[in-house]
Chains A and B, each alone.
Chain A
Amino acid sequence: MTAVVNEAAHELTALHRGRDADAIAAPMLRVEGVVRRFAGRPVVDGVSLDIDAGEQVVLVGPSGCGKSTLLRTIAGLDRADEGRIVLDGRDVSAIPAERRRVGLVFQDHALFGHLRVADNIAFGLKDLSRRERSARVAELLDLVQLSKLARRYPHELSGGEQQRVALARALAPRPAVVLLDEPFASLDERLRDELRGDVTAVLRDEHATALFVTHDRTEALAVGDRLAVMRDGRLIQVDRPQVVFDHPADRFTADFMATTSFLPAEDGGVYAARPHQLAVERGGADRVISRTYLGGGQQYLVRRSDGTEVVAGVAPDGPLESGDPCTIRTVATLHHLPPERGS
């Protein structure tokens, strides 16, 4: 089943790009059927994913879904139990991390505290001559706008600056792919937005191929050319962010990407409705339970006459109070999901 879904995802991707599936240029990173088990249990359960050169892909999923493990496997820090990893045309499945040419950026920046910023960045450049090394370090410092801080020690920098050094360090040896594991999670929100913009810009400038991992769905939507949703070790859907948001592949994905209400469909499946697709009108068999102000408008939690709860974001009759009788009406075409196995 998984293989079929993944294969379908692959095809879908190709179609969305308007290219013939068989004629795609070789991807920079190809993950093929990777399985990784811990204590008998598969944490990564047959994942396949292609990332093209210069592409930025975001891998999103709840905690414990296996995304960090997948990252470690791609980086070479863990070995896959099954499957292959092909990087820039090379099968690196059996090659240890230090020879894979993969860049890593972590949530906690993991800079070397005993080295200055410049030396941190230069760490992976041992094969270059001194002059080449200095030139490359200067280039990167410039890129992340930290040229003035080259002689500082990591603990003397702010969180955002530290993360930028981490990025520069990862990019310095021109890796085939850069893996970023929740890189912005430890920063406050404003800084996060700022840094996100900077980081993606830098990656584009370097024409770097990147795979972000995050558990934050907002971030997942904002970053990246494509979005891959992961759950229980498997990829559920891989597509452009808009597509995943508007046309989620299953209930979990729908609910994960944003607040979703599920309305029963005749075939036993459901309709997935976002708040802006549901209106709450005065009077009727349904009842308002509570409401929340979200900066753009009110969202109403409503219990319908059949007992299900939905969230509506449109109130054509004006604001309602908790306890008011009301009726739920759809105001847009809802996305339909077929019945799920076992549901």
Chain B
Amino acid sequence: MVVLCTVLAAPLVVVLWSLVDPAGDVWRQMWETRLPGMIRDTLTLVAAVLTGTLVLGTGLAWLVTAYDFPLRRVVGWVLVAPLAMPGYVLGMVWLNTLSDPLGARGVRSIWVCAAVLTFTLYPYVYLFARAAFREQSGHAVAAARSLGCSPARAFWRVTLPTARPSLAAGAALVAMEVLTDIGTVRMFNVSTIADGVIRVWFDNGDRDAATEIAVLLVGAAVLLITAERLLRGRARYASTTGSLPTPPQRLSPLGSAGALLAAATVITVAIALPVRRLVLWAQEAERNDQTATVAGDLGYHLGNTLRIAGAATATCIVAGIALTMVVRRRGRPGRVLGRLCTIGYAVPGPVVAIGTVVLLTTLERHGLLPGGMLTVGTFAALIYALTVRFVAAGYQGTDSSMAKIPPQVVASARTLGARPWRVATRVELPLARAGVLAAAALIAVDTVKELPITLLLRPFGRDTLSVWVWQATSQSLWSQAALPSLAILAVGMVPVAVLLYALERGAEVVS
């Protein structure tokens, strides 16, 4: 347990170690000039995106669970698709498409940035809310109706409050993504704390001060999670014993048209129009034969993306399962420790990357890395950093799925003579299969989209699709970024499909 945690948290500890020698000057200067603005921008952005994703995600989830209309199931699946859209791709498209109507100044605003992030992150809330609504007993709403609540009032007073833990979990995930975003915010001239970390680090060359600011981020994340747990209090929201949810209400043709229109609008804005623009750009790049400027081999980049995503996902899942196993034996303090070990998802990518670099090179200098394994520049080092960043999803997914397994099942297996390891592999894991699969899918999507860590730690000959996109966009060659962007989307759809499949099989995405 200790070993596992140390391994997972080490790069972050390394980064935090710099706190021992706080950098006074830069901090003071930042405080006077930039920090207040950064805090304000960050809070505004998080608040705006949370509002947007909660409204959009919850509303859409409600639409596909409470109502029946033609193509409802398909719509329910398609609405998850924007998970595969990286913020930096959607941002790039909107920046270019909207700069005409909004003006160059108008488009570079925190609100457009918030909108971009809302449309790429709402699927998290949508998934969590949908799961919660599906689980809810229809009887509670029926009882509320009989007690005088119109369907709308019943939604507000019963359905939503009961779904609160799920919505909070989705919101926490969204907040984390917004807090750690680097690429999208910069496009719109929004200076968040994460952006400040990078600036101080690279512009001021002051890694220590950068770390201090990064700690702010992690602190905010921990605060968020703790606050939500505390607010929950003693109230328990779980649905009651196995009763079915209310059957969806069939909508009139007009209502159905409205529902389909709403869903179509979201998909158009988040996927269809951007894809169209990307295709046009890709065709333009093809026409101008500009692919020579940036390494244009699709197969090569695609292969690397798949290799890295595959390896990182596998490692995260294995680490997550291992962590779950040891945590389950330790009760409550174990769970707290488990959460802390996986805090990597609250830290911006570049910070994780450099923590890893520093850690590994220090270890190697002291001869602690056998035979050149895990040295910086190796495939293993990259996978290690990605695991530190994303293991939380693997841990959460496995943990919450295992928590659903009735203790009697495990007890029976034990009394039949199986030792803990066998119980784990032959009983618990298969039962938690769907949850693990869902977690794996989420991690896969994240690693396909990931940029900062991949950029910094990729070995030679392992340029991915996201690196290709960066190479193009860093020179404003939008049309060249189009083809790899489309490829990222296409590849990302596969784990999204797997995710949907796992969810249909009863996976839980929330603890």
Residues of A within 8 A of B (CB): 72, 75-77, 96-100, 102-104, 106-115, 123-124, 126-127, 153-156, 166, 169-170, 172-173, 175, 186
Write out the residue numbers on chain B whose beta carbons fall within 8 Å of the beta carbon of A115. Answer: 235
**Which A residues lie within 8 Å of B164 (CB)?**
114
Task: Contact check, A106 vs B243: say whether CB atoms are below 8 A apart.
Answer: yes
Beyond A99-B148, A173-B148, 4 additional contacts (C-beta under 8 Å) are A110-B243, A115-B235, A124-B148, A126-B148
Are the CB atoms of A110 and B146 closer together than 8 Å? Answer: no
- Tell me whether A108 and B158 are in contact (CB under 8 A): no
Q: Which of these binds chain A: B76-84, B135-143, B357-365, B496-504?
A: B135-143
Residue contact A123 to B142, C-beta cutoff 8 Å:
no
A153 lies within 8 A of B147 (CB): no
B236 touches A153 (CB 8 A): yes
Give which listed residue, A97, A108, A114, A169, contacts B145 with CB less than 8 A.
A97
A-B contact pairs, 27 of them (CB 8 A): A72-B142, A75-B142, A75-B146, A77-B142, A77-B145, A96-B150, A97-B146, A98-B146, A98-B150, A103-B146, A108-B139, A108-B240, A108-B243, A110-B137, A110-B142, A111-B140, A112-B140, A112-B161, A113-B238, A113-B240, A114-B164, A126-B148, A153-B234, A156-B234, A166-B143, A170-B147, A173-B148
Specify which chain A residues have a CB less than 8 angstroms from the CB of B146 in the assembled complex.
Answer: 75-76, 97-98, 100, 102-104, 124, 170, 175
Contact with A along B47-69 (1 / 0, CB 8 A): 00000000000000000000000
- Cα–Cα distance between A297 and B157 once the two chains are bound (Å): 55
The answer on a CB contact under 8 Å between B142 and A104 is yes
Determine whether B149 belongs to the interface, using a CB cutoff of 8 Å to chain A: yes
The smallest beta-carbon distance between A85 and chain B, in angstroms, is 14
Given known pairs A108-B137, A108-B243, the reply for A114 and B143 (CB within 8 Å) is: no
Q: Which residues from chain B sit less than 8 Å from chain A, CB to CB?
A: 137, 139-140, 142-150, 153, 157-158, 161-162, 164, 234-238, 240-243
Nearest CB of A to B279, in Å: 43
The answer for the CA separation of A330 and B142 in the assembled complex, in Å, is 50
Flag if B150 contacts A110 (CB, 8 Å). no
List the B residue with the shortest CB-CB distance to A105.
Answer: B143
For the complex, give the distance between the alpha carbons of A156 and B162 in Å: 16
User: Are A169 and B143 also in contact (CB < 8 A) when A108-B137, A126-B148 are?
Assistant: yes
Q: Which residues of B contact A154 (CB under 8 A)?
A: 236
A97 to B146, CA, bound (A): 6
Say whether chain A's binding surface is mostly helix, strand, loop, or mixed: loop
Closest-by-CB residue of A relative to B242 is: A108
Would you call A123 and B236 a contact (CB within 8 A)? Answer: no
Complex CA gap A313/B237 in Å reads 51
A107 touches B150 (CB 8 A): no
CA distance A108 to B141 in the complex (A): 13
Q: Cα distance A114–B239 when bound, in Å?
A: 11
A102 neighbours in B (Cβ, 8 Å): 146
**Bound: A113/B147 CA distance, A:** 16
Residues in B with CB closer than 8 Å to A127 are: 148
Q: How far is the CA of A111 from the CA of B242 in the complex (A)?
A: 14
Contacts of A172 in B (CB 8 A): 147
B143's partner among A72, A104, A153 (CB-CB below 8 A) is A104
Instruction: Name the A residues within 8 Å of B140 (CB-CB).
Output: 110-112
CB distance from A34 to the nearest CB of B (A): 18
A106 touches B143 (CB 8 A): yes
Q: Would you call A114 and B150 a contact (CB within 8 A)? A: no
Q: With the chains together, A175 CA to B142 CA distance in Å? A: 15
Cβ A110 vs Cβ B238 within 8 A? no
Q: How far is the CA of A279 from the CA of B158 in the complex (A)?
A: 58
CB distance from A67 to the nearest CB of B (A): 15
CA distance A309 to B27 in the complex (A): 94
* Docked pose: A100 CA to B164 CA in angstroms: 29
Asked whether A155 lies within 8 Å of B139 as measured between CB atoms, the reply is: no
Q: How far is the CA of A103 from the CA of B148 in the complex (A)?
A: 10
CB distance from A81 to the nearest CB of B (A): 13
Residue from A77, A113, A156, A170 whose CB has the most chain B CB atoms within 10 Å? A113
B310 to chain A, nearest CB (A): 41
State A201–B147 Cα separation when bound (angstroms): 22
Name B241's contact: one of A72, A108, A112, A126 (CB within 8 Å): A108
Q: A104-B143, A123-B147 given as contacts; is B238 within 8 A of A112 (CB)?
A: no
* Contact A112-B158, Cβ < 8 Å, known A104-B146, A173-B148: yes
Which chain B residue lies CB-closest to A152? B234
| Least Cβ–Cβ distance between A76 and chain B, in angstroms | 7
Q: Interface centre among B147, B158, B235, by most A CB within 10 Å?
A: B147
Considering the chains assembled together, what is the distance between the CA atoms of A113 and B235 in angstroms? 6
A108 to B144, CA, bound (A): 14
Bound-complex Cα distance A216 to B185 (A): 63
Min CB gap A35→B, angstroms: 18
Q: In whole angstroms, how far apart are the Cα atoms of A189 and B366 in the complex?
A: 71
Q: How far is the CB of B92 from chain A (nearest CB, A)?
A: 42
Q: Name the 8 nearest CB pairs between A and B, nearest first.
A: A124-B147, A110-B139, A155-B236, A97-B145, A104-B146, A108-B240, A106-B139, A114-B161
**In the assembly, what is the distance between CA of A124 and CA of B241, in Å?**
23
Residues of chain A within 8 A (CB-CB) of B237 are 113-114
What residue of chain A has the Cβ atom nearest to residue B239's Cβ? A113
Instruction: Give every chain A residue within 8 A of B149 (Cβ-Cβ).
Output: 98
Contact: A169 with B240, CB < 8 Å?
no
For A121, the closest partner residue in chain B by CB is B147
* B residues in contact with A170, CB < 8 Å: 143, 146-147
- Per the bound structure, the CA–CA distance linking A107 and B137 in Å amounts to 11
| CB within 8 Å for A110 and B143 given contacts A98-B148, A173-B148, A186-B241 | yes
Whole-angstrom CA separation of A343 from B487 in the bound complex: 69
A69 to chain B, nearest CB (A): 11
**Which B residues lie within 8 Å of A107 (CB)?**
243
CB distance from A253 to the nearest CB of B (A): 29
**Distance in Å: Cβ of A79 to nearest Cβ of chain B:** 11
Q: How far is the CA of A169 from the CA of B146 in the complex (A)?
A: 10
Inter-chain CA distance A108–B143, complex, in Å, is 11
List, in ascending order, chain A residues with CB within 8 A of B241's CB: 108, 186
CA of A166 to CA of B240, assembled, Å: 13
A148 to chain B, nearest CB (A): 17
Beta-carbon nearest neighbor of B146 in chain A = A104
In the complex, what residues of B have CB within 8 A of residue A169's CB?
143, 147
Chain B residues lying within 8 Å of A156, measured Cβ to Cβ, are: 234
Q: Which of B146, B158, B241 has the most CB of A within 10 A?
A: B146
What A residues does B147 contact at CB under 8 A? 98, 123-124, 169-170, 172-173
**Could you tell me if A153 and B142 are in contact, using CB atoms closer than 8 angstroms?**
no
A124 to B235, alpha carbons, bound, how many Å? 20
